[in-house]
Structure 1
């Protein structure tokens, strides 16, 4: 079992290069983050090279957060901003050697938003392909992100089929899927061929995966049996200092 530290939450009090180093010291196999754009890509690449960790993924920019944006790519009328955010993310990912870019849809709904998102994803897939970067889309639950365009794995699968590009995959976040759909075991089995990355956190508090309603030992064993051996993304909100919340790693790796 391999784990990736999501530095959007873990060691979030440290500058990104130092958070990468902390993840390495803690024994993570890889890292991922949310929005690294305020740090020069050269600094991030240097920390990755120093630690020999891989950056698995980054997100496209959220837009004007103060105005309520949480992604731009399914927002009719903001197509130019969306494409710019995609191009920015792919360029940054290429410069740091990241494997995936999560294209954030934003708050919207309806057929026009669907069509807008599909076109944005076609642009993203074409732009990412020469660098062997995978584009990810992630359904978000309605408790944390009410009104977010992409809500369920079925909706995501429909979009993946419509776009029809090999480098478009599903970000399967166990926390979000459990809150919205439940039935993690059957969803993982049904969707395994379309999954590009898996993330996890306890449910319902989004804490470390050693408590809550999901038995992650069972989930991780299933994922392994399905033949998925990439690093799983620890995207949880630590209570206190991150290093003091990592008992779960010893538990699951022991």
Structure 2
């Protein structure tokens, strides 16, 4: 099992290249980020090369009130510009995936068709650069009205893209916190995703703190999901206190791997 640090949540007080070094020093196997676009991609790539960690993914721009434009009817030009920008930056830093943020469509008429069309565009761009496109069900308690809320919706979207002959490079992020907060069973959700599962993010539920407490049994979930998933488990949580002090959750996993 391999673990990644989400630098949109961890070491946020540092420039991205410094946060990359901090993650490496803490023992993480990889990193991911949210919106690195204000950072010099050459500096980011240099930091990754220096510590020998891969950058797993980044998001399309979600800084506006819509929280992304992927499923917002009438905003297709901007949404595709965001995809182009994300793909260009991903290629520059050697990043493997682009998460296309759906946005707060409130699932109005035409929003799912818009979403699928924009994902098809993203998939065509991704194929040119050997990238994967990711989508993520996000709880309504985080973003009210967000278009993609459940694993079932994600399955329906990807199956529709496949049926339409869209390049099969769109996969789903299984985020333990978001899935649990929408009332779904995490392990059951992973099974329903099957080969549509592309990435996993972990945090405690319900406080979204370090993955070592709360209602989710990480000692069971992580090994069980690993049986059918060979990717990374990305730590996307809010530290309950001092970040470094809270990293004790990671040590047993690293020790068990070395044994």
Same fold, TM-score > 0.5, yes or no: yes
Range that drifts further, 176-185 or 205-214: 176-185
1:76 matched to 2:73? The reply is: yes
Are the equivalent residues in 2 in contact too, given 1:152–1:181 (CA < 8 A)?
Answer: no
Alignment correspondent of 1:198? 200
Counterparts of residues 156-171 of structure 1 (less than 5 Å): 156-164=154-162, 165-171=167-173
- Structure 2 unaligned runs (5+)? none
Counterparts of residues 243-254 of structure 1 (less than 5 Å): 243-254=244-255
SS in 2 for 1:106: coil
1:188 matched to 2:185? The reply is: no
In 2, Cα distance between equivalents of 1:181 and 1:57 = 26
Are the equivalent residues in 2 in contact too, given 1:7–1:33 (CA < 8 A)?
Answer: yes
- Structure 1 unaligned runs (5+)? none
TM-score, length of structure 1 as denominator length: 0.96
SS in 1 for 2:4: strand
TM-score, length of structure 2 as denominator length: 0.94
In 2, Cα distance between equivalents of 1:150 and 1:13 = 30
Give the superposition deviation at 1:69.
2.3
Alignment correspondent of 1:94? 91
SS in 2 for 1:17: helix
Aligned length: 250
Counterparts of residues 116-131 of structure 1 (less than 5 Å): 116-131=114-129
Alignment correspondent of 1:219? 221
- Once the two structures are superposed, residues 130-185 of structure 1 have per-residue CA deviations (whole angstroms, 9 ceiling, x without a partner) of 11100000010011111101011111111111112311001111110111132112
SS in 2 for 1:69: coil
Moved over 4 A (4+): none
Alignment correspondent of 1:103? 100
Alignment correspondent of 1:44? 44
In 1, Cα distance between equivalents of 2:109 and 2:155 = 16
Give the superposition deviation at 1:224.
1.9
